[in-house]
Chain A
Amino acid sequence: DVKVTQSSRYLVKRTGEKVFLECVQDMDHENMFWYRQDPGLGLRLIYFSYDVKMKEKGDIPEGYSVSREKKERFSLILESASTNQTSMYLCASSPGGGGPSNSPLHFGNGTRLTVT
């Protein structure tokens, strides 16, 4: 089974802090994704990566950056956390065949981030 591991289940940070969310997958997947999920707004794509050191903006990249130095690890960075970034953050991965839009995603357990 694919395992996608997010480093923290719950996180509380203060406004203005730099926040790192880490995600590791163990199935040698090419594609990795960061989503946030908010009530009434559904799943929204922040950034994705289809190869090491490659990144693509999703639908809501503002206020975020990402890093993919190794194939198995994809990090989401909140440069200066704000209260409107309080959310559930979900990391996902998918195999490369067919491209990022044609392969099923496998999600991690999520990180519930609260910014106070």
Chain B
Amino acid sequence: QKEVEQNSGPLSVPEGAIASLNCTYSDRGSQSFFWYRQYSGKSPELIMSIYSNGDKEDGRFTAQLNKASQYVSLLIRDSQPSDSATYLCAAPGTAGNKLTFGGGTRVLVKP
């Protein structure tokens, strides 16, 4: 089992809809979780950090963390074509000394 898992997609959503991305992790002791956006040919860009159970909202983005079920999700409201990118989830690996990235979910927002 991979330490951090994401559905590779592509997740196709119409413009204006909500895109829902999920990420599961294996280390129960993980405390910090991050979502990155990566446009094709560019480097990952941090968009959300979440450390506590529940929801955290930042503009059109909402991160949701459920430690009991070991998943973290990202919602993108009012999706725009500019949101088309690969979204990477990151969490501490089982070794505890570094972040581990999921394989990423590719999102396509269609006008």
Contact of B32 with A101 in the complex, beta carbons under 8 Å: yes
| Stretch in B52-60, B73-81, B95-103 touching the partner | B95-103
Residues of B within 8 A of A103 (CB): 32
Given known A-B contacts A42-B103, A42-B104, A107 and B97 have beta carbons under 8 A apart: no
Number of B residues with CB within 8 Å of any CB on chain A: 21
Q: How long is the Cα–Cα vector from A89 to B101 in the complex, in angstroms?
A: 15
Which residues 93-116 of A have a CB within 8 angstroms of B?
98-110
Contact of A105 with B103 in the complex, beta carbons under 8 Å: no
A81 at the interface (CB under 8 A from B): no
Interface of A is mostly: loop
Contact of A48 with B98 in the complex, beta carbons under 8 Å: yes
Contact of B46 with A101 in the complex, beta carbons under 8 Å: no
Residues 38-62 of B, flagged 1 when their CB comes within 8 A of A and 0 if not, give 0000111110010000000000000
Residues of B within 8 A of A12 (CB): none
Q: Which residues of A come within 8 Å of B, CB atoms? A: 33, 42-43, 45, 48, 56, 58, 90, 98-110
Q: Which residues of B come within 8 Å of A, CB atoms? A: 31-32, 34, 42-46, 49, 88, 90, 92-93, 96-99, 101-104
Given contacts A42-B88, A102-B32, A102-B92, 7 further A-B contacts (CB under 8 A): A42-B102, A42-B103, A43-B44, A100-B97, A100-B98, A102-B31, A104-B46
